[in-house]
Amino acid sequence: MNQTRREFLTAAASFTVAQTLLPRVSFAQQKSTRIILLGTKGGPRVGEAGRSNPSTLILVNNVPYVVDCGYGTSKQLISAGVALNRLRYIFITHHHSDHNLELGALIYNAWITGLPMRIDAYGPPGLTQMTRDFFNYLKFDIDTRIEDEGRSDPRNLIRTHEFDKPGMVLMNDDVKVTSCRVRHPPIQQAYAYRFDARDRSVVISGDTAYAPELADFAKGADVLVHEVMYLPGIDALVKRLPNAKRLREHLMAAHTLPEDVGKIAAQAEVKTLVLSHFVPGDDASITDEQWAEGVRKHFKGRVVVGKDLMEI
Ligand SMILES: [Zn+2]
Ligand SMILES: [Zn+2]
C-alpha cells in the first residue's frame, strides 16, 4: 500500500468515526468505483458541438484511470471535476488518433498544473516513442520553463509500459487491470481493458468489430462500455464523401453494429451495457432509441446510450 493510499484510508476512517452520530452523508454512500464518459464520439474529426472525441474515466477510490486520450480529454477531465494534477494512470487501447491525439498534451497539461506524482501509461508498442516524440516536439518550451520557472523535468514524470500480448496490465491495492486483443483491422495491436475493483468490474471494448472473445473477457462484468456503429447513419455519411466506398469498407470491417453489441453483452451476461464511441458520432438525427433498438433484440439487461460527462 502506498503512502497516499494509506493516508486516504486513515483520513476516510477518521471521517467515518466523526460522522457516525450525524445523518448519513453522500460521501459514505458514494460508490468507490465510478465511470464517467469523457468523450463518446468515434473518429478523429472534431465536432462543432455535442460529443467530444473518445475517452473514458474510471475513478477507483478517487484515483483517476483514463482510458484513451482523444482530442479534448484534458478539458473533459476538468469538466468531470478531476484536476489535471491528479492524473495517475493512462491506458491506450490502440494507436488510432481518436484514441491518442491528446496523450502528450494531457501529460503536459498535468505537468504544468503541478503534477506531484508519476504518471504510468500503458498501451501497445509505439507508446514510448510517441511520448518521446511529443517531448521533442515541445523541447523548446519545456527546456525554457525548466530553466526560467524552475520547474521539474516532465520527462521524468512519465513511465510508459508497452505490451504486445493480452493479459495482466496492472495490479495495485485497488484494482486489477487486464487486456484482451480485439478485432480492429488493419490494426493488429488493439485491446479492450477490464478493471476489476473491489465493488465493481468494468470492461472498455476499445474499437472492435464483432469479437466473441470479448464476451468471454467481459464475462459477468457489472458494466461493459462498448463501441457501436449505426449502419443507416454510415450510409447517409458515405453518400456525402468522395472516398465513401473505402471508408465504408473500413468501418464495416473494424466496428460493431448494434445487434452484435447486444449479442456480446448477452453472452457476457453483464448487468449494464453502455454504448459509446458512436459512429457516426455527430449525426443528431439518430435518436437514442435508434442506437439501442438493435441492441435490445439480443440483450435484456440495462442499456445506457452514452453521453459526454454521463456517470454510470
Ligand atoms: Zn476510434
Ligand atoms: Zn480505431
How close is the Cα of 40 to the center of ligand 1, in Å?
Answer: 10
How close is the Cα of 301 to the center of ligand 2, in Å?
Answer: 27
Which ligand places an atom closest to the C-alpha of 70? 1
Using one digit for the tens of pLDDT, what is the confidence trace for 246-257?
889 999 999 999
Give the integer Cα–Cα distance in Å for 6 and 259: 45
Which ligand places an atom closest to the C-alpha of 71? 1
What is the arithmetic mean of pLDDT over 128-157?
96
Give the integer Cα–Cα distance in Å for 74 and 72: 6
Using one digit for the tens of pLDDT, what is the confidence trace for 256-272?
999 999 999 999 999 99
Supply the pLDDT for residue 11: 42
Using one digit for the tens of pLDDT, what is the confidence trace for 283-309?
999 999 999 999 999 999 999 999 999
Q: Which three cell numbers stand for residue 288?
A: 437514442
What is the arithmetic mean of pLDDT over 227-236?
94
Query: How sure is the predictor about 149, in pLDDT bands with cuts at 50, 70 and 90?
Result: very high
Taking Cα atoms as reference points, which of 275, 281, 271 lies closest to residue 261?
Answer: 275
Q: What is the chain's Cα-based Rg?
A: 20
Side-chain-side CA neighbours of 7 within 13 Å: the count stands at 4
CB distance 227 to 206 below 8 Å: yes
Supply the pLDDT for residue 110: 97
Supply the pLDDT for residue 5: 46
How close is the Cα of 44 to the center of ligand 1, in Å?
Answer: 7
Query: How sure is the predictor about 2, in pLDDT bands with cuts at 50, 70 and 90?
Result: very low
How close is the Cα of 158 to the center of ligand 2, in Å?
Answer: 24
Using one digit for the tens of pLDDT, what is the confidence trace for 208-217?
999 999 999 9
State the pTM of this model. 0.89
Supply the pLDDT for residue 190: 98
Q: Per-residue pLDDT for 13 more than 80?
A: no
Supply the pLDDT for residue 26: 45
Using one digit for the tens of pLDDT, what is the confidence trace for 20-72?
333 343 444 456 999 999 999 999 999 877 899 999 999 999 999 999 999 99
Q: What count of other Cβ atoms lies within 10 Å of the Cβ of residue 34?
A: 18
Mean pLDDT computed over every residue of the chain: 91
What is the arithmetic mean of pLDDT over 111-126?
94
Supply the pLDDT for residue 15: 39
Supply the pLDDT for residue 31: 65
How close is the Cα of 206 to the center of ligand 1, in Å?
Answer: 7
How close is the Cα of 174 to the center of ligand 2, in Å?
Answer: 29
How close is the Cα of 153 to the center of ligand 1, in Å?
Answer: 32
Using one digit for the tens of pLDDT, what is the confidence trace for 68-90?
999 999 999 999 999 999 999 99
How close is the Cα of 311 to the center of ligand 1, in Å?
Answer: 21
What is the arithmetic mean of pLDDT over 182-200?
97
Give the integer Cα–Cα distance in Å for 259 and 221: 19
Using one digit for the tens of pLDDT, what is the confidence trace for 101-113?
999 999 999 999 9
The residue behind cell 527546456 is 143
Strands (E) across 147-264 are located at 158-162, 167-171, 175-181, 191-197, 201-204, 223-229
Q: Per-residue pLDDT for 16 more than 60?
A: no
Residue 122's φ and ψ, nearest 5 degrees, are -120, 145
Give CA angle at 311 (49, 218), nearest 5°.
110
How close is the Cα of 117 to the center of ligand 2, in Å?
Answer: 30
